[in-house]
Structure 1
Amino acid sequence: MIDENKISRRQFIRISSYLAAGLVLPIETFAADQQIYKTIPKGGEQLPVIGMGTSRTFETRNDSALFAQLQQVMQTFFDLGGGMIDSSPMYGSAQQIVGTILPNIKGDKKLFAATKVWIDGQQAGIEQMEKSRKQWGIKQFDLMQIHNLVDWQNHLETLNQMKADGKIRYTGITTSHGRSHNQLERILKQHDFDFLQLTYNIGNREVESNLLPLAQERGIAVIINRPYQRGSLFRQVKGKALPEWAKEFDCSSWGQYFLKFAVSHPAVTCSIPATTKVKHMIDNMQAGKGRLPNKKQREMMIKYFGSI
């Protein structure tokens, strides 16, 4: 739920009216504090810490009402300073939906386009990546990732060549399965990647002991998926109050609590929460503003969450 101290009902109605009319939000709507950026270690480019995922949210067909809603979600994302949109061929119609909505976005959008290759076979991978590019309707992906380590040896060779040829800007590899962590650790020690995407949240901190320190050591940017553990974190805190001290790092909702925890880890570059609701997108983007918790505050967050 969005805190009225941060976003009043009047502001929310104003935002909704602009979106319904197909207008761009006035810049002063959220001008009080700007998005927090973190630096991509290899290249020095900066990214907003809150991106947008598309898994289980943009997978829709023949639902005009939901499509219109998703367009408002994406418009809000860019209006509030969003950058990275992450998708995959694995996510059904998500890439096609993203590509259909993007040309309709009004105002300035600083898209950082990220997707994945998810298929066996080098040539099949090349064809799948080209199909994805056409679905998005863009000239070039900023980031191409090997999804869940599928045929990673063949695809890594392709990605490195594509990067050398200027067809993509960054290479990456992803996992959302804890059982792949040992294999992924070996791969990262032996091969160069620009990005690593994995699961990390306040209820699942396994990667703090291995993959996150390794990413820092190797200069790899880290994208966090499942920052809400597919909603289970919200179910755990249902009916519980935020601690008073959460205000010290500009946190006014449980969603912000979870996102601020994830992106405040020194190794983490950004997180990609997914939603189909404008009000949740507003709350997500608010997590990328103001202050982030420091080391001591992160320890307090873990302790408080564990006590619930």
Structure 2
Amino acid sequence: MSHTQGYSRRRLLTLAAGASAVFTFDRTLAIATSPSGTGDQTMQTRPIPSSSEPLPLVGLGTYRGFDVAPGDPLYKQLPAVLSELFRKGGTVVDSSPMYGRAEETTGELLSIHEPRSPAFLATKVWTRGRQEGIAQMERSFSLLRTERIDLMQIHNLLDWQTHLPTLREWKAQGRIRYIGITHYTSSAYEEVEAVLKAEPLDFLQINYALDDRGVEKRILPLCRERGVAVICNRPFGGGDLLTKLKGRPLPGWAPQVQVNSWPQLALKFLLAHPAVTCVIPGTGNPRYMADNAGAGFGLMLTDAQRQQLIALVS
């Protein structure tokens, strides 16, 4: 699907200086960084419970990594990040108004992506008041350069009772396709649970990692019961998890599940839970994006393998 509004390439060249060169380079980079064994396979998908639409298992979070402007050397890597995501079969690109320039950067780069971007665009409303929420969401449409947003989420449940009627109205109009809520701390689980029980929702985005498993007790089972898709944010536990695992040998069974790195294994741990629909590790590095995407291929972990990983980080 197209997420552009006809912005001309000429108008965008100044904003994305050097981007075309990066896209040309990216085709070589993608081959060099392909996770071993994926070949030309397509990333696995899971159905969104409310619609049965298939969603690829691994997406991209834009927090920090996409909060950069044209002219920054890091900006020039970002077209390759998106190309890696799409080449591996991923589509979900998640952003938020609280992520600095991330929405604007995402919109710029998706508008010039060749071939046409297949992105499943997800963003959030993060303010108080009905009119303030409408204004913020309209700005997100503008920054993302799109006429339709796939998933609009109420960020950290801020003023959710006020925003939810607007989201339902916009969904009925076709401006947004799915509605969700988000949070990232265990202190909010009680409220998250209450909202899930009270309101029909399409998505929950929540923190879940090998060393942060609080959602397993009640939140994930409730999502399965209510037919709510789950997107995992902070899938590396804020970064501490990978620090703990760095330098340790992978389990001997890792090749059997087509894993060649700890990040892939940490993501596969989450994807082995039947309530999880998609994981969105954040990165601005195309090599990390390629590695992360590898978690969407091969066999999922068994219960015994999951328990071995839990014991490893306990």
TM-score (norm 1): 0.89
1:191 aligns with 2:199: yes
Correspondence for 2:7: none
Q: Distance in 2 between matches of 1:182 and 1:23?
A: 46
1:273 aligns with 2:281: yes
Structure 2: gaps spanning 5 or more residues: 1-20
Correspondence for 1:172: 180
Structure 1: gaps spanning 5 or more residues: 1-16
Equivalent positions of 1:200-211 (< 5 A) are 200-211=208-219
- AA aligned to 1:192 is P
Q: Deviations over 1:130-159 (max 9, x none)?
A: 110110111100100000000000101111
Q: Distance in 1 between matches of 2:90 and 2:194?
A: 33
Give identity over the alignment, percent.
42
Correspondence for 1:79: 87
Shift of 1:300: 2.2
- AA aligned to 1:300 is Q
Correspondence for 1:4: none
What is the root-mean-square deviation in Å for CA atoms of aligned residues? 1.8
CA contact (8 A) 1:53 1:273 kept: yes
Correspondence for 1:129: 137
- AA aligned to 2:94 is D
- Which of 120, 131, 148 pairs up with 1:140? 148
Q: Distance in 1 between matches of 2:169 and 2:73?
A: 41
TM-score (norm 2): 0.87
1:299 aligns with 2:307: yes
Correspondence for 1:119: 127
Shift of 1:250: 1.4
CA contact (8 A) 1:33 1:290 kept: no
Shift of 1:111: 1.1
Correspondence for 1:45: 53
CA contact (8 A) 1:23 1:106 kept: no
CA contact (8 A) 1:185 1:211 kept: yes
Shift of 1:20: 4.6
CA contact (8 A) 2:90 2:293 kept: yes
Q: Distance in 2 between matches of 1:62 and 1:69?
A: 11
Shift of 1:98: 0.3
Correspondence for 1:226: 234
Correspondence for 1:236: 244
Correspondence for 1:12: none
- AA aligned to 1:21 is F
1:258 aligns with 2:266: yes
- Give the secondary structure class of the aligned counterpart of 1:231: helix
Shift of 1:89: 0.2
Residues 1:104 and 1:205: Cα distance change in structure 2 (over 3 Å): same
Correspondence for 1:7: none
Shift of 1:23: 4.8
Shift of 1:110: 1.9
Q: Deviations over 1:234-282 (max 9, x none)?
A: 1111221111112221111100010101111100000000111111111
Q: Distance in 2 between matches of 1:19 and 1:100?
A: 14
Shift of 1:18: 8.2
CA contact (8 A) 1:34 1:290 kept: no
CA contact (8 A) 2:22 2:80 kept: no
- Give the secondary structure class of the aligned counterpart of 1:105: coil
- AA aligned to 1:43 is S
Q: Distance in 1 between matches of 2:136 and 2:95?
A: 13
Of 293-302 and 175-184, more deviation after overlay is shown by: 293-302
Q: Deviations over 1:273-300 (max 9, x none)?
A: 0111111111011111111112232222
CA contact (8 A) 2:110 2:117 kept: no
Q: Distance in 2 between matches of 1:176 and 1:100?
A: 27
Moved over 4 A (4+): 17-20, 22-26
- Give the secondary structure class of the aligned counterpart of 1:302: helix
Q: How many residues align?
A: 288
